[in-house]
Amino acid sequence: MKPLKRMSLKDVVIRKLHDYIAEHELQPGDRFLNEKEIVQWVGASRTVVREALKAMEAVGVVRIKPGDGVFVNESSVHHLVNQFSFRWSRDRARMLELLETRTMLELSAIELIVKRAEESETIPTAVDFREIEANLEQMERDIQLKKSIVEGDIEFHRTLFRMTGNRTFFELSEVITQYFNEVRERRIAEADSYGNTLVEHARIVQLLKQSDAEGAKKVMIEHLSPLKEIIMNGRY
């Protein structure tokens, strides 16, 4: 049996700083402890603290502004996407795995939304359909004006994930769905008409309002299925 690897002092400091952010419920954009305050708090050297902060900045947890201080990062999810998107988007096998993961997330979102709606009679967190209905109306206007609906499609799925009421779920979905922007553009461009996407979106919303999770999931699977063919043929 291999001996357990001891944490380095830098990793110990990183863990303490992560705990500090969680315990103090710091939000994106909030000012964080500065280098001197961290040194005094954890009792580590300035060099170790500086290495810990740089490591946290590298993965998008904090943002260091020279002369201004340290801040909780506003977009750690996007930072992670930027780190891996190029390599992953050129790997067909990985893209197929990501599509499979995205499909599972979309179907889980549908189940969560229906669950929230059913709980709304006893819990004051009723699912609000106004934002996603406004999205459908905007997409319809864009189609009439012969404008691209790619942004509308992106926002539809983002709104769907927000409707779950689970912030962690939403952030995880952001990591996955970002990889499909190029594929999404190709999928919409190759569709018989932009109207197909809108019809599928509207049908999903209608079924959600009827608490028909299975029906909505079936339409979602059909909605996402063309992406697999595009990835398989390398048309992205």
Domain boundaries, the chain: 9-74, 79-232
Q: Is the dihedral of CA 196, 200, 206, 210 positive or negative?
A: positive
Distance of CA 49 to the CA centre of its chain: 30
DSSP lists the bridge partners of residue 64 as: 70
pLDDT of residue 184: 63
Give the C-alpha separation, 162 to 201, whole Å.
16
**Can you read off the two tokens belonging to residue 2?**
């291999």
pLDDT of residue 219: 97
Fold of the domain built from segment(s) 9-74: Arc Repressor Mutant, subunit A (1.10.10)
Report the phi/psi class of residue 73: left, alpha or beta, with left for phi > 0 and alpha for psi in -120 to 50. beta
Report the phi/psi class of residue 230: left, alpha or beta, with left for phi > 0 and alpha for psi in -120 to 50. alpha
pLDDT of residue 1: 42
Q: Which residues of the chain have pLDDT under 70?
A: 1-7, 74-90, 120-126, 178-179, 181-194, 234-236
Give the C-alpha separation, 93 to 113, whole Å.
30
CATH number of 79-232: 1.20.120.530
**Can you read off the two tokens belonging to residue 236?**
């992205």
Give the C-alpha separation, 129 to 47, whole Å.
51
pLDDT of residue 174: 79
Residue 61: helix, strand or coil by DSSP? coil
Give the C-alpha separation, 94 to 108, whole Å.
21
pLDDT of residue 21: 87
pLDDT of residue 4: 42
Task: Assess contact for 139 and 201: CB atoms under 8 A.
Answer: yes
Task: Using the structure block, give the residue that is written with the tokens 């999205």.
Answer: 135
User: Which residue type occupies 71?
Assistant: F
The count of C-alpha atoms lying within 13 angstroms of the C-alpha of 182, restricted to the half-sphere facing its C-beta, is 12
Q: How far is CA 226 from CA 12, 186, 231, in A?
A: 46, 10, 9
pLDDT of residue 129: 93
96-132, pLDDT tens digit by residue?
888 899 999 999 999 999 998 887 654 445 578 999 9
pLDDT of residue 16: 92
pLDDT of residue 187: 61
